[in-house]
Amino acid sequence: MRKEAVALAEPKLHVPAPKGTGWHTVVSPQLGQTRQITFSLLRLEAGSEYEGQVGGETVAVLLSGIMDAEVDGRRWSSVGQRRDVFSGKAYALYLPSNARFRIRANTFVELAFGTVPAPMGGEPTLITPDQVKSRSVGLFNWRRDIDDIVDSSFPARRLLVGETRNPPGNWSSYPPHKHEEENPPFETQMEEVYHFRIFPPTGFAIQMIYTDDGELNEAIIVKDGDTVVIPRGYHPVAAPPGYAVYYLWVLAGERRQMFVKFDPAHEWVNGAEGILKEWHRWLG
């Protein structure tokens, strides 16, 4: 049965980077920006600690640094290896609904928390870089690298989480796609949040969000550390020449299956990609 997206007043789509250390709730239903996803950042100086409790199912991605972590009595020491999000795959923590946690920073640490209401259950889990599934998607100037941190094979309730990196000058989430209607196997309804980093950090990215009827038609200039809410619509990302673009994506839906609908005006790129890859295979 086809289920239309729930109509809401359009939220503020673009949230500039928060400043300072400590806990930052960046977007949440309580702030009127999302239906279900809460996205938060935790920054800790070396030697400092933070204790808290999540309100729902949560995936906490270690953006940088080394930490000791405890979730509902499970402990892990010296977690982390990358100096920034462009320096390899992530460590992440899976926290079941209402889990209590403690983080101790061995170096400066930055964590991103994606949280969504979900039934109780599940086990606290440390996800290591060797468990993260990497893939290269697209071709030429729409090629990007994707790391699936929590995919549909992971025993989560409602979340899918991963990272995308665009080489300088390249596009991602391309051809443009959307996932706002529950109409499997053609499309599933999933809310999404993107959190961006740019290298060098003086650069920018361009985030487009638009709908078929033109009611939503935004082109957002995104800076290092900014966050974008994607309530509906197609949402491609462009990296300008000279700047690599990273974004952490948090998806939430009733079913953890990703069926997307491509913009019919640009879907031909998928067909061209297949032809070009086959041509390259025969030549190579």
The pLDDT tens digits of the residues spanning 30-72 come to 999 999 999 999 999 999 999 999 999 999 999 999 999 999 9
Q: Where does the pLDDT of residue 3 fall: very low under 50, low under 70, confident under 90, or very high at 90 and above?
A: very low
CA distance 126 to 162: 15
In sequence order, the 6+-apart residues with CB closer than 8 A to the CB of 60 are 42, 92, 93, 95, 101, 111, 112, 113, 114
Q: Is there a contact between 176 and 263 (Cβ–Cβ < 8 Å)?
A: yes
Q: Where does the pLDDT of residue 147 fall: very low under 50, low under 70, confident under 90, or very high at 90 and above?
A: very high
Share of the chain above pLDDT 70, in %: 93
Calculate mean pLDDT across residues 119-143: 96
Calculate mean pLDDT across residues 207-217: 97
CA distance 128 to 114: 17
Res 210: pLDDT: 98
Q: Where does the pLDDT of residue 216 fall: very low under 50, low under 70, confident under 90, or very high at 90 and above?
A: very high
Q: Where does the pLDDT of residue 272 fall: very low under 50, low under 70, confident under 90, or very high at 90 and above?
A: confident
Q: Distance between terminal CA atoms of the chain?
A: 45
Calculate mean pLDDT across residues 4-20: 75
Model confidence over 154-176: pLDDT tens digits?
999 999 999 999 999 999 999 99
Q: Quick one: tokens of 45?
A: 């100086």
Res 284: pLDDT: 63
C-alpha triplet 233, 220, 256: angle, nearest 5°: 40
Res 8: pLDDT: 45
CA within 13 Å, CB half, 155: 8
Res 279: pLDDT: 62
- Tell me, yes or no, if the pTM score tops 0.85: yes
In terms of pLDDT, which residue wins out, 70 or 283?
70
Strands 92-95 and 125-127: antiparallel
Preceding amide of 129 cis, omega within 30: no
Res 11: pLDDT: 66
Question: What's the alpha-carbon Rg for the chain, to the nearest Å?
Answer: 19
Q: Is there a contact between 179 and 261 (Cβ–Cβ < 8 Å)?
A: yes
Instruction: Return mean pLDDT, the chain.
Output: 94
User: All domains of the chain, ordered by start, with CATH?
Assistant: 18-277 (2.60.120.10)
- Residues belonging to the chain: 284
Res 275: pLDDT: 74
Whether pLDDT at 244 is above 90: yes
Q: 28, exposed or middle or buried, with CB in 10 Å at 0-12, 13-18, 19+?
A: middle
Name the β-bridge partners of 251.
Answer: 160, 192
Q: Quick one: tokens of 254?
A: 């009733």
Name the β-bridge partners of 94.
Answer: 59, 125
Res 278: pLDDT: 67
Reference 86, options 245, 202, 226; nearest CA is 245
Res 115: pLDDT: 99
Res 10: pLDDT: 59
